[in-house]
Structure 1
Amino acid sequence: MSRDLNFSGFSQLGRVQPMQSLPRASSSSTSASRDGAGDGGVTGQDNLLPIANVGRIMKDGLPPQAKISKRAKETIQECATEFISFVTGEASERCRRERRKTVNGDDICHAMRALGLDHYADAMHRYLQRYRESEELAASLNNTNNAGGSRPAGAIQIDVRAELSIFRGNQQQGRNA
Protein backbone atom coordinates (compact mmCIF):
# COMPACT_ATOMS: atom_id res chain seq x y z
CA MET A 1 0.00 0.00 0.00
CA SER A 2 1.64 3.24 -1.11
CA ARG A 3 0.93 6.62 0.40
CA ASP A 4 0.85 9.86 -1.51
CA LEU A 5 2.45 12.41 0.77
CA ASN A 6 2.09 16.10 0.16
CA PHE A 7 5.01 17.97 1.67
CA SER A 8 4.40 21.21 -0.20
CA GLY A 9 4.29 23.13 3.08
CA PHE A 10 7.80 21.95 3.91
CA SER A 11 9.37 23.13 0.67
CA GLN A 12 11.65 25.65 2.35
CA LEU A 13 12.67 23.73 5.47
CA GLY A 14 16.09 22.89 4.07
CA ARG A 15 17.01 26.54 3.59
CA VAL A 16 19.01 28.51 6.10
CA GLN A 17 17.05 31.72 5.55
CA PRO A 18 13.74 32.19 7.42
CA MET A 19 10.64 31.22 5.47
CA GLN A 20 9.02 34.14 3.70
CA SER A 21 5.50 33.05 4.65
CA LEU A 22 6.27 33.47 8.35
CA PRO A 23 7.81 36.94 8.82
CA ARG A 24 9.72 37.81 11.97
CA ALA A 25 8.11 39.84 14.70
CA SER A 26 9.54 43.30 15.07
CA SER A 27 9.09 45.94 17.71
CA SER A 28 9.22 48.80 15.22
CA SER A 29 6.02 50.52 14.18
CA THR A 30 6.88 50.19 10.49
CA SER A 31 6.67 46.41 10.66
CA ALA A 32 2.91 46.56 11.24
CA SER A 33 2.26 48.18 7.89
CA ARG A 34 4.79 45.93 6.16
CA ASP A 35 3.15 42.78 7.62
CA GLY A 36 -0.31 43.83 6.51
CA ALA A 37 -1.79 45.09 9.78
CA GLY A 38 -2.38 48.54 8.33
CA ASP A 39 -4.88 47.22 5.78
CA GLY A 40 -6.81 45.01 8.22
CA GLY A 41 -4.80 41.87 7.42
CA VAL A 42 -3.29 39.47 9.90
CA THR A 43 0.29 40.15 10.88
CA GLY A 44 3.00 37.52 10.57
CA GLN A 45 3.28 37.53 14.36
CA ASP A 46 -0.34 36.38 14.65
CA ASN A 47 0.44 33.32 12.53
CA LEU A 48 3.23 32.06 14.81
CA LEU A 49 3.10 30.22 18.11
CA PRO A 50 3.89 32.51 21.06
CA ILE A 51 7.67 32.72 21.43
CA ALA A 52 7.47 32.60 25.25
CA ASN A 53 5.60 29.29 25.12
CA VAL A 54 8.05 27.86 22.59
CA GLY A 55 10.98 28.92 24.77
CA ARG A 56 9.41 27.40 27.88
CA ILE A 57 8.82 24.07 26.12
CA MET A 58 12.39 24.08 24.80
CA LYS A 59 13.73 24.86 28.28
CA ASP A 60 11.75 21.98 29.81
CA GLY A 61 13.65 19.53 27.61
CA LEU A 62 17.11 20.85 28.48
CA PRO A 63 19.32 20.81 31.59
CA PRO A 64 18.65 23.73 33.98
CA GLN A 65 21.92 25.53 33.17
CA ALA A 66 21.38 25.38 29.38
CA LYS A 67 20.92 28.62 27.47
CA ILE A 68 18.77 29.02 24.36
CA SER A 69 19.54 31.73 21.83
CA LYS A 70 16.85 34.00 20.47
CA ARG A 71 17.57 32.68 16.96
CA ALA A 72 17.09 29.08 18.13
CA LYS A 73 13.72 29.97 19.67
CA GLU A 74 12.64 31.76 16.50
CA THR A 75 13.69 28.81 14.33
CA ILE A 76 11.79 26.30 16.47
CA GLN A 77 8.84 28.71 16.56
CA GLU A 78 8.71 28.73 12.76
CA CYS A 79 9.18 24.96 12.43
CA ALA A 80 6.60 24.11 15.10
CA THR A 81 4.09 26.52 13.57
CA GLU A 82 4.64 25.01 10.13
CA PHE A 83 4.35 21.46 11.50
CA ILE A 84 1.09 22.24 13.30
CA SER A 85 -0.29 23.94 10.19
CA PHE A 86 0.71 20.96 8.07
CA VAL A 87 -1.00 18.40 10.34
CA THR A 88 -4.11 20.49 10.97
CA GLY A 89 -4.39 21.21 7.25
CA GLU A 90 -4.52 17.47 6.56
CA ALA A 91 -7.07 16.99 9.37
CA SER A 92 -9.14 19.89 8.07
CA GLU A 93 -9.14 18.39 4.59
CA ARG A 94 -10.52 15.14 6.03
CA CYS A 95 -13.29 17.08 7.77
CA ARG A 96 -14.09 18.93 4.55
CA ARG A 97 -14.36 15.63 2.63
CA GLU A 98 -16.69 14.27 5.32
CA ARG A 99 -18.68 17.54 5.35
CA ARG A 100 -17.90 18.28 8.98
CA LYS A 101 -17.00 21.68 10.37
CA THR A 102 -15.11 20.71 13.52
CA VAL A 103 -11.67 19.10 13.66
CA ASN A 104 -11.30 16.74 16.63
CA GLY A 105 -8.47 14.75 18.18
CA ASP A 106 -9.24 11.67 16.10
CA ASP A 107 -8.85 13.76 12.95
CA ILE A 108 -5.41 14.89 14.12
CA CYS A 109 -4.36 11.28 14.80
CA HIS A 110 -5.64 10.22 11.38
CA ALA A 111 -3.78 13.10 9.72
CA MET A 112 -0.54 12.11 11.44
CA ARG A 113 -0.90 8.55 10.17
CA ALA A 114 -1.73 9.79 6.67
CA LEU A 115 1.44 11.91 6.73
CA GLY A 116 3.62 9.00 7.81
CA LEU A 117 3.96 10.11 11.43
CA ASP A 118 2.65 6.83 12.83
CA HIS A 119 4.74 6.86 16.02
CA TYR A 120 3.39 10.30 16.96
CA ALA A 121 -0.14 9.27 16.00
CA ASP A 122 0.00 6.23 18.27
CA ALA A 123 1.29 8.26 21.22
CA MET A 124 -1.30 10.96 20.53
CA HIS A 125 -4.08 8.36 20.34
CA ARG A 126 -3.10 6.91 23.74
CA TYR A 127 -2.93 10.42 25.18
CA LEU A 128 -6.35 11.23 23.73
CA GLN A 129 -7.86 8.07 25.24
CA ARG A 130 -6.44 8.84 28.67
CA TYR A 131 -7.53 12.47 28.42
CA ARG A 132 -11.08 11.41 27.64
CA GLU A 133 -11.05 8.94 30.54
CA SER A 134 -9.77 11.70 32.82
CA GLU A 135 -12.50 14.07 31.67
CA GLU A 136 -15.18 11.42 32.27
CA LEU A 137 -13.79 10.74 35.74
CA ALA A 138 -13.65 14.46 36.54
CA ALA A 139 -17.22 14.92 35.34
CA SER A 140 -18.50 12.01 37.41
CA LEU A 141 -16.63 13.24 40.51
CA ASN A 142 -17.95 16.76 39.97
CA ASN A 143 -21.48 15.43 39.67
CA THR A 144 -21.18 13.53 42.97
CA ASN A 145 -19.26 16.23 44.88
CA ASN A 146 -20.73 19.35 43.26
CA ALA A 147 -17.59 21.13 44.47
CA GLY A 148 -16.66 22.64 41.08
CA GLY A 149 -13.62 24.81 40.50
CA SER A 150 -10.39 22.85 40.70
CA ARG A 151 -9.68 19.42 39.30
CA PRO A 152 -10.82 16.55 41.56
CA ALA A 153 -8.20 14.68 43.59
CA GLY A 154 -8.89 11.44 41.69
CA ALA A 155 -8.27 12.94 38.24
CA ILE A 156 -5.68 11.30 36.03
CA GLN A 157 -2.56 13.26 35.11
CA ILE A 158 -1.21 12.44 31.66
CA ASP A 159 2.45 12.76 30.67
CA VAL A 160 2.78 13.16 26.90
CA ARG A 161 6.55 12.65 26.97
CA ALA A 162 6.10 9.35 28.80
CA GLU A 163 3.60 8.21 26.17
CA LEU A 164 6.06 8.92 23.37
CA SER A 165 8.91 7.29 25.33
CA ILE A 166 6.83 4.14 25.83
CA PHE A 167 6.18 3.96 22.13
CA ARG A 168 9.84 4.52 21.26
CA GLY A 169 10.87 1.82 23.76
CA ASN A 170 8.45 -0.66 22.20
CA GLN A 171 9.71 0.31 18.76
CA GLN A 172 13.34 -0.31 19.81
CA GLN A 173 12.43 -3.72 21.25
CA GLY A 174 10.77 -4.61 17.95
CA ARG A 175 13.96 -3.77 16.06
CA ASN A 176 16.14 -5.81 18.41
CA ALA A 177 13.90 -8.88 18.19
Structure 2
Amino acid sequence: MDDEQDRLLPIANVGRIMKQILPPTAKISKEAKQTIQECSTEFISFVTAEASDKCHKENRKTVNGDDICWALSTLGFDNYSEAMVWYLYKHREAERQKPDQNKTGRSNPHVQDKQLEESNYGNNQLGKQNNENPSSYSVGV
Protein backbone atom coordinates (compact mmCIF):
# COMPACT_ATOMS: atom_id res chain seq x y z
CA MET A 1 0.00 0.00 0.00
CA ASP A 2 2.93 2.36 0.66
CA ASP A 3 3.99 2.15 -2.98
CA GLU A 4 0.48 3.12 -4.09
CA GLN A 5 0.36 6.03 -1.62
CA ASP A 6 3.72 7.28 -2.92
CA ARG A 7 2.38 7.61 -6.45
CA LEU A 8 -0.81 9.46 -5.44
CA LEU A 9 -1.17 13.20 -5.03
CA PRO A 10 -0.99 14.32 -1.38
CA ILE A 11 -4.45 13.92 0.16
CA ALA A 12 -4.15 17.18 2.13
CA ASN A 13 -3.61 19.13 -1.10
CA VAL A 14 -6.54 17.37 -2.77
CA GLY A 15 -8.79 18.19 0.18
CA ARG A 16 -7.67 21.85 0.18
CA ILE A 17 -8.48 22.21 -3.51
CA MET A 18 -11.86 20.55 -3.03
CA LYS A 19 -12.71 22.91 -0.16
CA GLN A 20 -11.97 25.98 -2.32
CA ILE A 21 -14.92 25.27 -4.60
CA LEU A 22 -17.41 24.21 -1.94
CA PRO A 23 -19.37 26.40 0.49
CA PRO A 24 -17.51 27.00 3.78
CA THR A 25 -19.98 24.86 5.74
CA ALA A 26 -19.62 21.82 3.44
CA LYS A 27 -17.99 18.68 4.77
CA ILE A 28 -15.95 16.30 2.62
CA SER A 29 -15.74 12.63 3.54
CA LYS A 30 -12.45 10.80 3.61
CA GLU A 31 -13.75 8.48 0.89
CA ALA A 32 -14.59 11.44 -1.37
CA LYS A 33 -11.09 12.85 -0.93
CA GLN A 34 -9.57 9.46 -1.68
CA THR A 35 -11.69 9.02 -4.80
CA ILE A 36 -10.71 12.44 -6.17
CA GLN A 37 -7.11 11.74 -5.20
CA GLU A 38 -7.08 8.51 -7.21
CA CYS A 39 -8.95 9.97 -10.20
CA SER A 40 -6.79 13.08 -10.46
CA THR A 41 -3.61 11.04 -10.13
CA GLU A 42 -4.80 8.69 -12.87
CA PHE A 43 -5.71 11.63 -15.13
CA ILE A 44 -2.28 13.23 -14.67
CA SER A 45 -0.57 9.90 -15.35
CA PHE A 46 -2.68 9.35 -18.48
CA VAL A 47 -1.83 12.75 -19.96
CA THR A 48 1.82 12.55 -18.93
CA ALA A 49 2.22 9.11 -20.50
CA GLU A 50 0.88 10.43 -23.82
CA ALA A 51 3.25 13.39 -23.71
CA SER A 52 6.14 11.13 -22.73
CA ASP A 53 5.42 8.78 -25.66
CA LYS A 54 5.58 11.77 -28.01
CA CYS A 55 8.93 12.82 -26.57
CA HIS A 56 10.26 9.28 -26.83
CA LYS A 57 9.27 9.11 -30.52
CA GLU A 58 11.05 12.43 -31.07
CA ASN A 59 14.15 11.19 -29.20
CA ARG A 60 13.75 13.79 -26.47
CA LYS A 61 14.18 13.12 -22.77
CA THR A 62 12.35 16.13 -21.35
CA VAL A 63 8.59 16.59 -21.36
CA ASN A 64 7.68 20.28 -21.55
CA GLY A 65 4.48 22.28 -21.22
CA ASP A 66 3.84 22.22 -24.95
CA ASP A 67 3.95 18.41 -24.87
CA ILE A 68 1.32 18.37 -22.12
CA CYS A 69 -0.91 20.74 -24.11
CA TRP A 70 -0.48 18.54 -27.19
CA ALA A 71 -1.34 15.42 -25.18
CA LEU A 72 -4.48 17.03 -23.73
CA SER A 73 -5.64 17.96 -27.22
CA THR A 74 -4.76 14.57 -28.69
CA LEU A 75 -6.67 12.78 -25.94
CA GLY A 76 -9.79 14.87 -26.59
CA PHE A 77 -9.48 17.33 -23.71
CA ASP A 78 -9.57 20.37 -25.99
CA ASN A 79 -11.05 22.73 -23.40
CA TYR A 80 -8.29 21.86 -20.96
CA SER A 81 -5.71 22.17 -23.71
CA GLU A 82 -6.85 25.68 -24.66
CA ALA A 83 -6.78 26.77 -21.03
CA MET A 84 -3.32 25.26 -20.52
CA VAL A 85 -1.94 26.94 -23.65
CA TRP A 86 -3.17 30.27 -22.32
CA TYR A 87 -1.76 29.59 -18.85
CA LEU A 88 1.59 28.51 -20.33
CA TYR A 89 1.71 31.70 -22.41
CA LYS A 90 1.03 33.87 -19.34
CA HIS A 91 3.54 31.90 -17.25
CA ARG A 92 6.28 32.35 -19.85
CA GLU A 93 5.46 36.03 -20.10
CA ALA A 94 5.82 36.41 -16.30
CA GLU A 95 9.08 34.42 -16.29
CA ARG A 96 10.56 36.70 -18.94
CA GLN A 97 9.69 39.76 -16.86
CA LYS A 98 11.31 38.42 -13.67
CA PRO A 99 14.95 39.15 -14.63
CA ASP A 100 14.01 42.71 -15.56
CA GLN A 101 12.13 43.21 -12.29
CA ASN A 102 15.11 41.95 -10.32
CA LYS A 103 17.44 44.47 -11.98
CA THR A 104 15.28 47.55 -11.54
CA GLY A 105 13.07 46.49 -8.67
CA ARG A 106 9.98 47.08 -10.79
CA SER A 107 8.55 46.10 -14.14
CA ASN A 108 10.00 47.61 -17.30
CA PRO A 109 7.29 48.53 -19.85
CA HIS A 110 9.62 47.60 -22.72
CA VAL A 111 9.66 43.98 -21.54
CA GLN A 112 5.88 43.82 -21.85
CA ASP A 113 6.13 44.72 -25.54
CA LYS A 114 8.57 41.93 -26.39
CA GLN A 115 7.27 39.10 -28.55
CA LEU A 116 7.37 35.75 -26.77
CA GLU A 117 9.12 32.82 -28.37
CA GLU A 118 6.61 30.01 -28.38
CA SER A 119 6.47 26.59 -29.88
CA ASN A 120 4.53 25.92 -33.05
CA TYR A 121 1.82 24.28 -30.97
CA GLY A 122 1.38 27.38 -28.80
CA ASN A 123 1.49 29.61 -31.86
CA ASN A 124 -1.24 27.61 -33.57
CA GLN A 125 -3.44 27.58 -30.49
CA LEU A 126 -3.13 31.32 -29.88
CA GLY A 127 -3.45 32.40 -33.52
CA LYS A 128 0.00 33.96 -33.51
CA GLN A 129 0.73 32.98 -37.13
CA ASN A 130 -1.76 35.65 -38.18
CA ASN A 131 -0.11 38.22 -35.90
CA GLU A 132 -3.21 38.29 -33.75
CA ASN A 133 -2.91 39.42 -30.15
CA PRO A 134 -3.42 36.41 -27.82
CA SER A 135 -4.71 38.72 -25.08
CA SER A 136 -7.81 39.29 -27.22
CA TYR A 137 -8.72 35.60 -26.95
CA SER A 138 -11.05 34.25 -24.33
CA VAL A 139 -10.57 30.67 -23.32
CA GLY A 140 -13.68 28.67 -22.48
CA VAL A 141 -13.28 26.06 -19.80
- TM-score, normalised on structure 2? 0.74
CA 142–104 in structure 1, closer or farther in 2 if over 3 Å, else same: same
Which residue is equivalent to 1:92?
52
Please list the CA deviations of residues 116-143 of structure 1 after superposition, one character each: whole Å capped at 9, or x if unmatched. 0011000000000000001111121113
1: CA distance, partners of 2:52 / 2:103: 34
2: CA distance, partners of 1:107 / 1:124: 11
1: CA distance, partners of 2:23 / 2:90: 29
2: CA distance, partners of 1:144 / 1:153: 7
Question: 1:1-177 maps to which residues of 2 (within 5 A)?
Answer: 35=1, 43-145=3-105, 166-168=139-141
SS of equivalent residue, structure 1 residue 92: helix
Q: Give the share of equivalent positions with the same residue, in percent.
A: 60
SS of equivalent residue, structure 2 residue 27: coil
The one-letter code sitting in structure 1 at the alignment partner of 2:71 is: A
SS of equivalent residue, structure 1 residue 44: helix
Which one has more relative contact order, counting CA pairs under 8 Å at least 6 apart?
2
Unaligned runs of 5+ in 1: 1-34, 38-42, 146-151, 155-164, 169-177
1: CA distance, partners of 2:99 / 2:8: 34
2: CA distance, partners of 1:153 / 1:144: 7
Which residue is equivalent to 2:130?
none
- By how many angstroms is 1:69 displaced? 0.4
Larger Rg: 1
The one-letter code sitting in structure 2 at the alignment partner of 1:59 is: K
The alignment of Structure 1 onto Structure 2 pairs a total of residues equal to: 112
- By how many angstroms is 1:144 displaced? 2.9
1: CA distance, partners of 2:40 / 2:72: 14
The one-letter code sitting in structure 2 at the alignment partner of 1:90 is: E
- TM-score, normalised on structure 1? 0.60
2: CA distance, partners of 1:68 / 1:153: 42
- The answer as to whether partners of 2:97 and 2:107 remain within 8 angstroms in 1 is no
- By how many angstroms is 1:153 displaced? 7.6
